[in-house]
Chains A and B, each alone.
Chain A
Amino acid sequence: GDSVTQMEGPVTLSEEAFLTINCTYTATGYPSLFWYVQYPGEGLQLLLKATKADDKGSNKGFEATYRKETTSFHLEKGSVQVSDSAVYFCALRGYSSASKIIFGSGTRLSIRP
Chain B
Amino acid sequence: EPEVTQTPSHQVTQMGQEVILRCVPISNHLYFYWYRQILGQKVEFLVSFYNNEISEKSEIFDDQFSVERPDGSNFTLKIRSTKLEDSAMYFCASSGGQGAGETQYFGPGTRLLVL
Contacts and interface: CB of A to CB of B under 8 A. Distances in A.
Contacts of B109: 43
Contacts of A102: 45
Contacts of A89: 43
A44 B98 contact: no
A89 B41 CA distance: 12
Main secondary structure of the interface of A (DSSP, over half): loop
A100 interface: yes
Closest 7 CB pairs of A and B: A99-B48, A100-B45, A51-B101, A43-B108, A44-B106, A99-B56, A103-B43
25 contacts: A32-B101, A36-B106, A43-B4, A43-B6, A43-B91, A43-B106, A43-B109, A44-B43, A44-B91, A44-B106, A45-B106, A46-B103, A46-B104, A46-B105, A49-B103, A95-B100, A99-B45, A99-B55, A99-B56, A101-B45, A102-B45, A103-B44, A104-B42, A105-B42, A106-B42
Interface of A: 30-32, 34, 36, 42-46, 49, 51, 89, 93, 95, 97-106
